[in-house]
Each structure stands twice: as C-alpha cells, then as structure tokens.
Amino acid sequence: MREIVLDTETTGLDPADGHRVVEIGAVELENLLPTGRVYHCYINPERPMPREARNIHGLGDDFLRDQPVFASIAPAFLEFIAGARLVIHNAAFDLAMLNAELARLDKPALAMSGVIDTLALTRKRFPGAQASLDALCRRFGVDNSGREKHGALLDCELLAEVYLELMGGRQQGLVLDVAATAPDGSGDPASASAGYSAPPRPRPLAPRITSAERAAHDAFIAELGEAALWAKAR
C-alpha cells in the first residue's frame, strides 16, 4: 500500500483569518516503509509572517519572498500525493490549510476520508498520554535531537518512524496478505486478521507412515495391556 506522510508549516492557525501555507513536506511509504521518495518545498505566502509563527518554524519574510507561490507548486504537489493514503498528525489542521489553498485555485479539496490521523490514532491507543510528535518520539525511542524548530520535511521523517511503531513496529506479525495488514482507520493492523481460519486443503495429505511402522506401533500398544492410556485412546 502506498501512503504519504505529510506535514505543513503555516503563517498561523486559521485560514479564515488569511493564514497561508509556507512549507510542505511529504515522505512516501510502501507497506509502511519509506521508499526514499520525498516532496519538499517552501512557499511564498504573499503576506507578512507573524512573529509567533516565525518563532515556531524559523521561516521569515526575507527568505520566503523569493520562494514560489502555491499556484506554482500545486501541480507537482498534487501529482506526488495522487492515489496515496495520507498520514498526518492532527490532520484536520493541515487539511484545512491545504484545502484553503486549493480552493483559491478552484481545485478539489483533499478528503478527510482518505487520511490516517496519527493524533487520533495515538489518543485511541494511549488514552490520556501526551500525543505530540515529540512525546511520541520519546515513547518509541525515535531520535528527534535535530528538531530544534518545526520543519515540514524533518517532521515527516520523524512521523514516518512513529507511524511504523504505532502500526505495530517492524515486526508486523505473520500475516502475509498485504491488504490484511493495511491500516483501516481503527488503527490496529492486527484486527484485519482476527477470526481468520485457514481454508480446507483441496485434497488430504498422503500419510507418511508405512504399513510396517503401523504394525510395529500396534504391537507395542498391545504389549502395554488393556489398561494403558494409549489402548483406550485408539
């Protein structure tokens, strides 16, 4: 299964207040493992960067004014994520920001139905525990020492490792059907194999015991006497 771990950085929290996307990072996964393909770009938000947002991600006006606008990067971005399930931490926020950008271009919105929200997944698996990306890195022993500020691509790389652990770690169990191990929104890949039973063989296996071995076994049981457990079990 192809999935895209995605993250954004923005000028603020609410697109209704005119806030814009300034960075997109995306990491491609195939069957929960990174393929090495990534998408990353900085974006000119066409508005000033508030101090509070700059303190979070370090992206300022001087740097961003030379970057392409969203309309320029949209085709390549949409091509990269096409056909993949999106994996996002706090998906409602990132989708709201991206869909506001797409709406400006009269392009279809990204559907929440095609997204795995790792924040919701974490809260379901670890109720009451801290659910931030940093907290999850600590829980699963993922090295986030290079994360001095938020950055879309770095956060995607960390989230890809965290997501693998959330879905059961590198040992996914002995279910060989890829479709059966894929996440389904309930967050538990093992649930797909619950209740599985092997179908009957089209024909029984041929016996491997010979007639001579069977005769020798019967003779041995007879020597044990009628009170022997093996005699009663025959």
Q: Which residues pair with 38 in a beta bridge?
A: 27
Q: What is the CA radius of gyration of the chain?
A: 28
Cα-Cα end-to-end distance for the chain: 51
**Structure letter (DSSP) for residue 83:** T
**Structure letter (DSSP) for residue 19:** -
What's the number of CA atoms in the CB half-sphere (13 Å) around residue 28? 16
Q: Is there a contact between 77 and 102 (Cβ–Cβ < 8 Å)?
A: no
Residue type, 31: N
Ranges of H-type helices in 84-184: 91-104, 118-125, 133-140, 152-166, 178-181
Catalytic annotation on 217? no
Q: Residue 56 corresponds to which tokens in the numbers above?
A: 């979070």
Q: Is there a contact between 52 and 39 (Cβ–Cβ < 8 Å)?
A: no
Q: Which residues pair with 39 in a beta bridge?
A: 26
Catalytic residue among 19, 57, 89, 150: 150
Distance, CA of 95 to CA of 160 (rounded, Å): 18
Distance, CA of 119 to CA of 89 (rounded, Å): 5
Q: Residue 138 corresponds to which tokens in the numbers above?
A: 């600590």
Which residue numbers are catalytic? 150
